[in-house]
């Protein structure tokens, strides 16, 4: 079969220009999803073509994605990224991946042994917000999470990312090997700190000595990651096949923009990702907050209200003047004031850039995709800025409307009475509450009382209850498009 590995590709396609045979799996990555393929693996590819090193990546999917791993193996671990601007597309074949594993294909022990190999210096992750098994409102380990319960009962056969990491570190410690750096690349506020807290607490419940060893020896840098990478569709793959002249089931399309800010805190060395445009800094937290609140916060706003308003993609919402203005105002009036940024940061310029990125008509980023896992996303995208406005006594109607939009969305019925496919790890709890109340404003305090999402100082605050209730009432009476226009 013709693949990206054995076909003669058009000259317009950029291919790896370094010797892949010298690469070693010094990075093990958990989560060979859409994002990582177009971000960390691409940065690594570019770093390899600019410097003479052997940093390769072993890809692991712990949940689903067996087919992707099989396809990747069938094409010598090469795959394509199509960077789609409004007018042109750049096509790159990525060569930084050296190996791949999946517990369902290769067994749990093989995965653990790979993570325990002496040359492994970094275990990185894009496992989605829920992969951290942490309480979304506090960022602390959720001891009632079924994966945590299962892994604590049977640590040598883990299921969760935390379980794999702790078991692999245990093996390394027993063998007298150096630890590895744990690098989260998920959209989680203070992602390194959340990963550390969850892993340390998990280890404490398992073996306090191992916990101490991890705390002393392992580092957990925070990272701010940014690139809009929608899930691949049939359409994306057909377009990539046309550009390549052969099929690539691992191909992925994304926007041209990319950004990666990394806390420089690696215990066993790191690649010079800066030669590929990443920034190493001492403190990532302000950049993370800026991105999570301004980009992701307004993304969630557009996802819930856009879906309800009948817009399938983020770029479709940008053709509606009301949504476009509301998204910009949400960034500048709700989110920007809540940030403390290094001097000289141009937040208005950032907001304008975001609106332009959202407008890119070549990217088919589904509002439904971004609406997914709202229980995990809302606290970190909106909780901090909500607190800020409550303290200041300032206007937070954009945040209240976004939260009301989420509440209307998780009812599971759209404005035309059609079913919404609500995907969320807390979907059962949310559904139960919504079923009790129907499309009635009484659902607002009931959902605000879910403390895993809204801690009491937010969810029980009368100002929050009032503002979200009035936005919800408007959604019921006038619909999403009119509610957004009236903002």
**Where on the chain is the footprint of ligand NAI (CB under 6 A)?**
31-36, 61-65, 126-131, 160-161, 186-187, 225, 227-229, 231
User: Closest CB to ligand CS2 belongs to which residue?
Assistant: 299
Minimum CB–partner distance for residue 377 and ligand CS2 (Å): 6
H or E, element range at 351: helix 347-359
Question: What does 61 bind: ligand NAI, ligand CS2, none (CB cut-off 5 to 8 Å by kind)?
Answer: ligand NAI
Whether the Cβ atoms of residue 296 and residue 130 lie closer than 8 Å to each other: no
User: Distance (Å, rounded) from C-alpha 53 to C-alpha 81?
Assistant: 22
Among residues 259 and 473, whose Cβ is nearest to ligand CS2? 259
CB contact at 8 A, 330 and 381: no
- Tell me how far, at minimum, the Cβ of 332 lies from ligand NAI, in Å: 22
Tokens of 363: 């990217």
Please identify, using beta-carbon distances, which residue of 71 and 128 lies nearer to ligand CS2.
Answer: 128
- Given ligand NAI, ligand CS2, none, residue 313, with its beta carbon under 5 to 8 Å by kind, binds none
Nearest to 191 by CA among 296, 289, 57: 289
Rounded to whole angstroms, how far apart are CA atoms 240 and 242? Answer: 5
Q: 81 vs 225, which CB is nearer to ligand NAI?
A: 225
Looking at beta carbons only, is 204 or 369 nearer to ligand CS2? 369
129 binds, options ligand NAI, ligand CS2, none, Cβ within 5 to 8 A by partner type? ligand NAI
Q: From ligand NAI, ligand CS2, none, which one binds at residue 370 (CB under 5 to 8 Å depending on kind)? A: ligand CS2
Q: In what order do the strands lie in the sheet with 97-101?
A: 97-101, 55-60, 24-30, 122-125, 181-184
**Shortest Å, Cβ 232 to ligand NAI:** 8
Using alpha carbons, select from 327, 321, 320 the residue that is nearest to residue 301: 327
Using an 8 Å Cβ cutoff, are 444 and 468 in contact?
yes
3-state secondary structure of 14: strand
CA dist 286 and 53 (Å) reads 31
Q: How far is the CB of 352 from ligand CS2 (least distance, A)?
A: 17
Between CA 363 and CA 317 the distance in angstroms is 13
Cβ closest to ligand CS2, residue 114 vs residue 293: 293
Which residue's CB is nearer to ligand NAI, number 203 or number 480? Answer: 203
For the CB of residue 349, give the shortest distance to ligand CS2 in the complex, in Å: 17
3-class DSSP state for residue 29? strand
CA 139 distance to own-chain centroid = 15
Angstrom distance (rounded) from CA 40 to CA 47: 10
Task: Tell me whether residue 199 or residue 404 sits nearer to ligand NAI (CB atom).
Answer: 199
Residues forming contacts to ligand CS2 in the complex (CB under 6 A) are 187, 226-228, 295-296, 299, 369-370, 377
**Rg over CA atoms, the chain:** 22
| Assigned token pair, 294 | 């301004």
Query: Which CB atom, from 65 or from 306, has the smaller least distance to ligand NAI?
Result: 65
From 222, 221, 203, select the one nearest 212 (Cα to Cα).
Answer: 203
The option from ligand CS2, ligand NAI, none interacting with 299 (CB < 5 to 8 A, set by class) reads ligand CS2
Q: Which does 186 bind (CB under 5 to 8 A by kind): ligand CS2, ligand NAI, none?
A: ligand NAI
Backbone angles phi, psi at 224, to 5 degrees: -110, 120
Angle (CA) 326 385 140, round 5°:
130
The partner in contact with residue 273, picked from ligand NAI, ligand CS2, none with C-beta cut-offs of 5 to 8 angstroms by kind, is none
Q: How far is the CB of 487 from ligand NAI (least distance, A)?
A: 25
Which listed option, ligand NAI, ligand CS2, none, makes contact with residue 296 (CB within 5 to 8 Å by class)? Answer: ligand CS2
83 binds, among ligand CS2, ligand NAI, none (CB under 5 to 8 A by kind): none
**In terms of CB distance, is 57 or 228 closer to ligand CS2?**
228
Q: Where are the alpha helices (DSSP H) in 438-461?
A: 443-448, 456-459
- Least separation, in Å, of the C-beta of 278 and ligand NAI? 14
Q: Which of 100/298 has CB closer to ligand CS2?
A: 298
The closest residue (CB) to ligand NAI is 33
φ and ψ at residue 461, rounded to 5 degrees: -75, 125
Tokens of 241: 């096949």
Q: How far is the CB of 191 from ligand NAI (least distance, A)?
A: 8
Strand partners, 47: none
Residue 43 CB, shortest distance to ligand CS2, in Å, is: 14
């Amino acid at each position: 079969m013709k693949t990206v590995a054995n076909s003669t590709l058009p000259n317009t396609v950029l291919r790896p220009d370094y010797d892949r045979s010298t690469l070693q799996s010094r990075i093990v990555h958990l989560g060979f999803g859409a994002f990582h393929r177009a971000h960390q693996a691409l940065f690594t590819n570019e770093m390899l073509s600019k410097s003479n090193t052997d940093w390769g990546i072993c890809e692991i999917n712990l949940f689903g994605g067996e087919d992707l791993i099989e396809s990747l193996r069938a094409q010598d671990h090469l795959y394509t990224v199509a960077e789609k601007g409004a007018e042109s597309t750049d096509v790159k074949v990525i060569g930084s991946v050296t190996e791949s594993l999946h517990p369902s294909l290769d067994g749990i022990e093989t995965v653990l042994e790979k993570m325990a190999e002496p040359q492994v210096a970094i275990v990185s992750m894009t496992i989605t917000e829920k992969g951290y098994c942490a309480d979304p409102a506090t960022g602390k380990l959720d001891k009632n999470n079924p994966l945590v319960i299962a892994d604590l009962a049977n640590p040598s056969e883990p299921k969760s990312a935390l379980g794999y990491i702790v078991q692999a570190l245990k093996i390394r410690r027993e063998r007298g090997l150096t630890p590895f750096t744990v690098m989260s690349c998920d959209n989680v506020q203070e992602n390194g700190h959340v990963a550390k807290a969850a892993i340390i607490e998990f280890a404490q419940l398992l073996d306090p000595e191992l916990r101490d060893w991890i705390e002393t020896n392992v580092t957990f840098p925070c990272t701010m990651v940014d690139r809009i990478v929608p899930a691949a569709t049939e359409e994306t793959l057909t377009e990539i096949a046309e550009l390549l002249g052969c099929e690539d089931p691992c191909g992925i399309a994304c926007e041209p923009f990319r950004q990666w800010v990394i806390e420089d805190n690696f215990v066993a060395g790191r690649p010079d990702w800066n030669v590929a445009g990443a920034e190493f800094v001492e403190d990532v937290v302000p950049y993370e907050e800026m991105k999570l609140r301004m980009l992701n916060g307004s993304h969630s706003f557009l996802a819930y209200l856009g879906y309800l308003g009948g817009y399938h993609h983020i770029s479709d919402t940008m053709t509606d003047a009301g949504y476009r203005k509301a998204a910009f105002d949400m960034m500048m009036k709700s989110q920007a004031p809540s940030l403390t940024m290094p001097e000289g940061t141009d937040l208005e310029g950032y907001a304008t850039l975001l609106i332009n990125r959202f407008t890119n008509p070549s990217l088919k980023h589904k509002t439904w995709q971004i609406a997914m896992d709202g229980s995990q996303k809302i606290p970190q995208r909106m909780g901090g800025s909500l607190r800020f406005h409550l303290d200041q006594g300032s206007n937070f109607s954009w945040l209240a409307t976004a939260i009301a939009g989420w509440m209307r969305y998780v009812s599971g019925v759209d404005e035309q009475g059609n079913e919404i496919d609500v995907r969320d790890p807390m979907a059962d709890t949310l559904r139960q509450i919504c079923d009790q109340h129907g499309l009635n404003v009484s659902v607002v305090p009931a959902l605000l009382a879910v403390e895993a999402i809204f801690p009491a100082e937010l969810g029980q605050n009368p100002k929050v209850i009032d503002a979200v209730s009035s936005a919800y009432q408007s959604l019921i009476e006038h619909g999403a498009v009119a509610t957004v226009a009236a903002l």
